[in-house]
Structure 1
Amino acid sequence: MHLVGNNIIVRNFQEGDFDSFYRLVKNKRNHELSGMEYTEDINDAKQIFDRYLKLETSYCIALKENSLMVGIIELNERGMTSGLELTRELGFIIEEKYRHQHIASEAVELMIKYSFEELKLTELWAAAEKHNIAPQKLLVKHDFKYIYEVNQNFSILDNTDNLIEYYLLKP
């Protein structure tokens, strides 16, 4: 994949992206905000990165000026049962020092266009942690509509609520 915007490129991962990737996965706040993998162990991070290099649904968000990776954007399959083949779940994370620079917005815009024009999808879903307001605002800005909330706390030992809000975009 190679989508070019005004300031960013959405592209496949490359070996040279590892340092930027490692900064993302060793930041615990990224895990808390998006559910992204978390590890401070560089060897674990390399194993995770090797998986991302092979994934056909995860892409690097890079600055156009120097191709530096600053985030990840994904189009995950929601299932291949009847009716879901042409739907995807959109997810994204931007490295902390690059947030609030409209990078995520531009990446989401490129993926929406790609999803409906190239892949011919019928709908995109996105989810955001209830306490993570920034991506919720970004989704609404791009015409996603709030649909419902669900508690995804799977741990019997953890009493905290893990509320996820789901948003839907249809062309």
Structure 2
Amino acid sequence: MIEDEEIYLRNFELRDASVLYIWGQNSRFHKLAGFNQFKNYEEALQAAKQYAKRKYSFAICLKSTNRVIGLVELYERGLDERSGLLKSKEIGFLIDSFYEGQGLMKRALRLILNYAFQELDQLEIWAGVFEENIRSQKLLEILGFKYVYEYDMSQISEVFSYKEKYYLLKKAEWLKIDENTKS
């Protein structure tokens, strides 16, 4: 478990399917973060099983209530040791609409970034954000991420009709930012 004074990150469990199902009914999460839409509880249960299997997928929980309020994940960018991608991850995140604007996602991202850079010894973290998701883009910039490029996903397939902006945070920059916020 990774924690601060207000929240903690824990691995997903099957009991989290009910929260995933609620989020899967929210078209806004699909539009802004690509979160799966679930037709029924069984689909959400399958998703909970998948999240539970992922080593770096975490439920964001409030300490005061133990309620799951969001998710944050680190994804592998490649497993080829020669490519150098073992020291690079991509981050994904989502917070329940009720908890937006309270600084809780910023707390969760600070926790996972510290974990990635200090415990997992990652050298860089990437974040892909849908073009319309201005709030997440601003949060990434506050945390020190730098905009690198935009990719039109429709170039891959007609199935995708969105653009994604990619941001990068290097370990050395994070350590400077993190140290400055402690004083």
Please confirm whether the aligned pair reaches a TM-score higher than 0.5, indicating the same fold.
yes
The RMSD of aligned alpha carbons is 1.4
Q: Which runs of 4+ in 1 moved over 6 A?
A: none
* Amino-acid identity (%): 36
Counterpart-to-counterpart distance in 1, 2:39 and 2:101: 25
In 2: Cα distance, 1:33 partner to 1:166 partner: 14
Structure 1: gaps of 5 or more residues: none
Higher mean C-alpha displacement, 131-140 vs 32-41:
32-41
**Quick one: distance in 2 between partners of 1:157 and 1:53?**
28
Partner residue, 1:42: 41
SS in 1 for 2:78: coil
Worse-matched range after superposition: 85-94 or 39-48: 39-48
| Equivalent in the alignment of 1:65 | 64
CA contact (8 A) 1:17 1:68 kept: no
Residue in structure 2 matched with residue 95 of structure 1 by the alignment? 96
* Separation of aligned partners in 2, 1:164 and 1:157: 14
1:76 match: secondary structure: strand
1:124 aligns with 2:125: yes
* Higher percent of residues as helix: 2
**Structure 1 contact 10–61 (Cα < 8 Å) conserved:** yes
1:96, distance to aligned residue in structure 2 (A): 1.1
Amino acid at match of 1:164: E
Question: Once the 2 structures are TM-superposed, how far is the Cα of residue 142 of structure 1 from its aligned partner?
Answer: 0.4
Measured in 1, the distance between the counterparts of 2:132 and 2:56 equals 26
2:168 is aligned with what amino acid?
A: L
Residue 14 (structure 1) shift: 2.5
- How many matched pairs? 168
The change in CA–CA distance for 1:55 and 1:74 in structure 2 (over 3 A counts) is same
Q: Deviations over 1:51-101 (max 9, x none)?
A: 112111211001111211011100000011221011000110001111111
Partners of 1:7 and 1:72 lie apart in 2 by 15
C-alpha displacement at 1:157, in angstroms?
6.6
Partner Cα distance (1:85, 1:8) in 2:
28
Give CA deviations for 1:123-165 in whole Å, capped at 9, x if unaligned. Answer: 000011111101000000000000000001244377x4x1100
* Cα pair 1:21 1:69 within 8 Å, conserved: no
Cα deviation digits, residues 5-35 of structure 1 (max 9, x gap): 1211011113332222221122121011111
Kindly provide the CA deviation profile for residues 37-63 of structure 1, in whole angstroms up to 9, marking residues without a partner as x: 111311111111111121112110011
Matches within 5 A, 1:104-115: 104-115=105-116
Q: Secondary structure at the match of 1:31?
A: helix
Structure 2, unpaired ranges of 5+? 172-183
What CA distance in whole angstroms lies between the structure 1 residues aligned with 2:8 and 2:35?
21
Q: Does 1:165 align with 2:177?
A: no
